[in-house]
Structure formats: C-alpha cells, structure tokens
Amino acid sequence: MPREFITNTPPRSITKQQAMFLTDHGVKGALWVSKAAFPAPPDAALQNGVSRAIRDLGEGGEEYTMPALQAVEGEWVGYRASVKANTPEPAGLSEREKYEHLVRDRKTDMTLLYFHGGSYYLMDPVSTRPLMQKILSRTHSSIAHYPGWRLCRRKPGFRPPTDAPPTPPGCARRRNAYRHIPRRHGTAATTSRNHAELTIHGPYTLHAGRLRVTGPVGLPPPPSFSPAQSSPPCTIWPSDPPRADLLCEGSALCHPLVSPLAAPSWAGSPPLFIVCGEERLADECKAFAQKAARDGVRVVWEQYEAMPHCFSQVLEGSVESEACFASWAGFVRMVTEKPGEVVTGGEFITVRTLERTPVDVYNLLDMSQEDILDCMQRERQAIVERFTQSMA
C-alpha cells in the first residue's frame, strides 16, 4: 500500500517526497515531547572505528564515502496520562521543562530507542508521533527517544553506525541533562529503519530486547520500486557524484552494515520480536529470523495472513493491528520483567479470526544461507549494471 501511494501517483522529486512528511503539526493528546540534539563526538574515533568495521566485515571492494559527524536530532517522548486526544501541550514550557514532566510521569523503568521507517529517505520523528503514543500507552515504557536520520539523498551509506552512537540512552544517561533515564533499554524499529537498528547491534550491550516490524534487512530493492530511478531530478538527487542507489554506492549494497542479512552471525543478540504480513518483504524477514534463531538468539516470530506492509499502522483499528500492538506490548513487558522466560517460537495468525498456528522459526524459508547470499549478490550486480547503462 505505501508503495502504491508513491509509485502509482504522478512522479515527484525526492525533495518533494521528503517534504510531505516533514511538517510539524504540533503536539496534541497524551504525549510529552521534548526535542533533543546530541552533539557529534569531538574527535574522529567513531569514524575510524566504523572504517575498521567496514573493512573487517566487507569483501574489500566496497566503495563508500564516510559521512561527516554531525549532531543527531531527535525527540524524547513520554506518555501523558489523563489527557484528551486534542489537548495541546502546555504553552510556555522549555524543552528541558517538558523533559522533566516526561520523567515525572513515567511509570516503569524501561526506555525504548525507536527508529522510524521510510524507505531510507522518508519520514521524520514528527510524522511518527501517533505511533509513539500507541507504543507508549501499550508497553508502559515511560520514555522513547527516536533519532531523526540523515535522509539518504546526499548522505550515502554507513550513516546508522555513525549517527546512532551519540544517541543511545546509555550514552545520554552519562550527560547531566538526561540523568533520569531508566537503565533498562530496548530497541524498536519499523520497516526500513530495521536496517539502522540492526547495524548498531555490535557496540551496545544494554538492550533488554529488540523489536522489528516488517522491514528490509538484506535483499536489494526490486526494480519495480526504485525511487532512485523513477524520481524526477532535483537539487539533491541524482547525487554528485552519481551513485547507483539512494542508500549507498552499488558496490556496498551487500555489505553487512548496509544489508544486515549478510552478517555472518547474530550470536549474542538480545531477544528479538519480529512481525510481518504476507508481503513482498516477508521472505527476507523470514531469512533473517531463522538465521538469528539458528545462531542461538531467542526469536519471537509472528506473521499475519493477508496483511500488507506496515499493516499495524495503515490498517489502524483493525483486529489485526490491535493484535500486533498487543504482541509488541507483551514482548516489551516480558523482556523487562521476566527476560529469562523469553523462548524462541513462531505463529501464523489468520485474518479476521486471529487463529494462531505454530510455525518452526528455525525453518521459515526453504533456502540455505549460501543461496540467499548468492541471490543478494546477483541482484546487486543487476542494479550496478542498470546504473552503468543509464550513465553511458
């Protein structure tokens, strides 16, 4: 459905597509929102570490441009109880005062670091506040900080490992401005931002659990949906110098820091909750889930019959959407209160009736890891060849 909205309408430039989701309509209802900016590290240690990771995890032929370190902006979000839906936020409060109210109203010792989706180049924290309200009201987590990302346009590849480290709650807690952050942490992501959430797995050991909702983790995008090829030119795209994909250079599309499905192992990851519909991205979600399970990660898997991409949001109010959010909340409470009781398991949930049938998480997809990686490399090569032909 989101792809239909973008592809079956008059072509828009990348700039115009991005602008559709960047308008701040203000804060209303049961939310406390405090805008925050996390300064970039003062030295090049982070960039040097990412460069080493690129070399160590890659095959040696990946081209990339290291993004400059910049301040990362985002929002602290907390649930504001006993407030009607259209109630505006109190006037005259500073961002610091809003944060203090947010801390005061928290009820649990749990922080979710949330990464919004948007096909690597769309959306913003301001456009995902309604989803934040749902998550907070159901999970009873008191604070969710989700960083805005530098949208792909002129900021290619490898941004999650450089943008995310300044923002985790574990880092923020060491700053006096955010000294009240709870010590229990989890990460959550929807659609394409799962890629960002997964690529920062390595540096952090504080997570109670991780939630993924139907997003790409490995296979390059299908030719039928390629904003890099179909969008009219504008001031930020095509890039200068040109590259094959919005996300990164074509040679890097299968690098584990770009396509997490290529990672050799997920051993040591906190428990994972993964949910998807019967959609185009289902196979790569299955491939990732079974790979993680086989690597010893505790994986809770749910797939909903006949549901489209991001069904919990685009079909808001449906029984399937409510069931999905209930599962989110149940997983968060489990990893917060009884983490030792999380066990690997999967279910297929039927449309309307919500009947649940167990599935084998270790064997969700009838493909070997070698075949999956071969498919990724073939599609990467096809993308590079199409780009080369277009530049001839």
Mean pLDDT for 276-288 is: 92
pLDDT, tens only, 309-338: 889 988 999 999 999 999 988 998 888 889
Q: What per-residue confidence (pLDDT) applies to 193?
A: 46
Q: What per-residue confidence (pLDDT) applies to 377?
A: 94
Q: How many other C-beta atoms can be found within 10 angstroms of the C-beta atom of residue 233?
A: 10
Q: What per-residue confidence (pLDDT) applies to 167?
A: 53
Of 187, 118, 116, 112, the C-alpha closest to 145 is: 112
Cα distance between the two ends of the chain = 34
Domain boundaries, the chain: 2-391
The CATH number of 2-391 is 3.40.50.1820
Q: What per-residue confidence (pLDDT) applies to 296?
A: 97
**DSSP element (H, E) containing 345:** strand 345-349
Mean pLDDT for 376-386 is: 92
Q: What per-residue confidence (pLDDT) applies to 175?
A: 47
| Beta strands across the sheet bearing 31-38 | 31-38, 72-79, 143-147, 111-115, 185-190, 207-213, 272-276, 299-304, 345-349, 356-359
pLDDT, tens only, 240-258: 888 888 888 999 999 998 8
Q: What is the DSSP letter of 247?
A: S
More confident call, 214 vs 39: 39
Mean pLDDT for 297-304 is: 96
The one-letter code for the residue type at 339 is P
pLDDT, tens only, 189-245: 676 544 555 555 443 344 456 665 655 555 455 545 567 777 899 988 888 888 888
- Helical spans, DSSP H, in 106-252: 129-139, 160-163, 169-172, 193-199, 227-230
Q: What per-residue confidence (pLDDT) applies to 247?
A: 82
Mean pLDDT for 345-373 is: 97
> Do β-strands 111-115 and 185-190 pair in parallel, antiparallel, or remain unpaired?
parallel
Q: What sign results for the dihedral spanned by CA atoms 55, 59, 65, 70?
A: negative
3 state SS of 186: strand
More confident call, 174 vs 319: 319
Q: What per-residue confidence (pLDDT) applies to 250?
A: 92
Q: What per-residue confidence (pLDDT) applies to 202?
A: 42
Q: How confident is the model at residue 181 (pLDDT cuts 50, 70, 90)?
A: low
In angstroms, the Cα distances linking 232 to 188, 226, 238, 243 are 33, 12, 9, 15
More confident call, 344 vs 391: 344
More confident call, 49 vs 166: 49
pLDDT of 24 over the 80 cut: yes
